């Protein structure tokens, strides 16, 4: 018997999401999760405004940061997190622990209907149990762990960030704010760079804020060298989290001898860089996409032990206000990660 879900459906780019109902029919190996909350990501905006095409044909229910309760499956009543990227579990990528890059991966709200709904169908063996969540934690806020926090953690893994390293986070909002906290928890010294003073103020207890102004990049490099003069550049880990062309240009310009850069944010805008710098500096650049399932227990441990805090970096909103929120995001009026309640 199917489950009737109330959903917000994207029928065409740049159109309002239509509130309607769908009947969900789980197949063998799938579970129905009642959505407690779903985070709003810039990727959702890209799909909604047509700047990025989802893999699933429209109409499509967006939303990939989902936390909820299993209502149909092997463990009904269990609180779970739905990872934003779910590999098939069988291919060479998955068997090598790189399921976040699985060619058959499923991302809710991209490859299949997502979490802007009261219910969602997902592969049951990919769900992350929340049995150990502290009683005083608002489970709705864990929705951002599905992507923003776990993606930030995976970026630190790609960089092999360790105690004593210098983490330079370009873009301190969203993923960058969580990455700064994770880097601090891993024992790194953290510099957070942003154009928005409020973001820098919010992250100041975890990172040394560095405001971007009209100074040339050379002067910014000198300031960073002064702030961390005792950390050799081979221990510099630069994380580009702004998702802007300007942020990408800046992050690349900060690469020094034997430094490592990780590209975390996404922008469709092209940039021009001199790749020969990587040769000259003997430097390394990684991309980082999502997170493999194996990292979620450690990510949740950091949250449960309050080494990564969520509340100051999220704002609660009703899912019925999704169109207004997407417009706010498009015009840079959102300074926190929105967590959406489908029952409001």
| Same domain, yes or no: 112 and 162 | no
CA atoms of 3 and 121, how far apart (whole Å): 10
Q: What is the pLDDT of residue 228?
A: 93
Do 297 and 278 reside in the same domain of the chain?
no
Q: Are residues 251 and 133 in the same domain?
A: no
* Whether residue 186 sits in one domain with residue 170: yes
Q: Is the pLDDT of residue 329 over 80?
A: yes
- State the residue range of the domain holding 243: 149-287
Which CATH number covers residue 235?
3.40.50.720
**pLDDT reading at 213 higher than 90:** no
On whether both 39 and 100 belong to a single domain, the answer is yes
Confidence of residue 214 (pLDDT cuts 50, 70, 90): low
Q: How confident is the model at residue 252 (pLDDT cuts 50, 70, 90)?
A: very high
In the predicted structure, residue 178 carries a pLDDT above the cut 80: yes
Same-domain status, 130 and 18:
yes
* pLDDT value for 282: 98
Are residue 297 and residue 281 in the same domain, yes or no?
A: no
Q: How many domains does the chain have?
A: 2
Per residue in 74-93, pLDDT (tens digit) is 999 999 999 999 999 999 99
Q: Per the structure block, which two tokens stand in for 228? A: 């961390």
Please identify, among 248, 264, 287, the residue that sits at the C-terminal boundary of a domain. Answer: 287
| Residues 11 and 98 grouped into a single domain | yes
Q: Quick one: which of 201, 26, 21 has its CA closest to 118?
A: 21
State whether 97 and 14 are in the same domain. Answer: yes
CATH code of 16's domain: 3.90.180.10
Residues 11, 128 within the same domain: yes
Whether residues 66 and 165 fall in one domain: no
Question: Do 7 and 136 fall into the same domain?
Answer: yes
């Amino acid at each position: 018997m199917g489950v009737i879900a109330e959903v917000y459906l994207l029928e065409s780019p740049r159109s309002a999401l239509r509130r309607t109902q769908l009947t969900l029919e789980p197949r063998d190996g799938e579970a129905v999760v009642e959505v407690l909350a779903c985070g709003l990501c810039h990727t959702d905006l890209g799909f909604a405004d047509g700047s990025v095409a989802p893999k699933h044909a429209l109409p499509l229910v967006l939303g990939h940061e989902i936390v909820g309760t299993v209502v149909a499956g092997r463990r009904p009543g269990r609180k779970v997190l739905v990872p934003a990227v779910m590999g098939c579990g069988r291919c060479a990528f998955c068997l090598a622990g790189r399921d976040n890059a699985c060619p058959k991966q499923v991302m809710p709200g991209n490859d299949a209907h997502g979490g802007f709904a009261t219910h969602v169908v997902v592969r049951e063996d990919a769900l992350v149990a929340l049995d150990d969540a502290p009683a005083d934690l608002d489970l709705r806020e864990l929705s951002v762990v599905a992507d923003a926090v776990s993606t930030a953690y995976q970026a630190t893994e790609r960089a092999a960030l360790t105690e004593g390293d210098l983490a330079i986070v370009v873009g301190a909002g969203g993923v960058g704010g969580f990455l700064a906290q994770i880097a601090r928890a891993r024992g790194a010294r953290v510099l957070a760079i942003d154009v928005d003073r409020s973001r820098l103020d919010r992250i100041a207890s975890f990172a040394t804020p560095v405001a971007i102004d009209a100074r040339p990049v050379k002067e910014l490099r000198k300031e960073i060298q002064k702030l961390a003069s005792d950390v050799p550049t081979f221990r510099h880990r630069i994380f580009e989290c702004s998702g802007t062309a300007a942020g990408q240009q800046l992050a690349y310009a900060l690469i020094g001898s034997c430094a490592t850069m990780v590209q975390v944010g996404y922008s469709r805008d092209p940039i021009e860089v001199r790749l020969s710098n990587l040769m000259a500096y003997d430097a390394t650049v990684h991309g980082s996409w999502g997170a493999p399932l194996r990292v979620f227990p450690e990510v949740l441990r950091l949250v449960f032990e309050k080494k990564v805090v969520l509340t100051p970096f999220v704002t609660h909103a009703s899912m019925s206000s999704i169109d207004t929120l997407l417009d706010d995001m498009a015009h840079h009026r959102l300074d926190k990660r929105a967590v959406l309640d489908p029952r409001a």
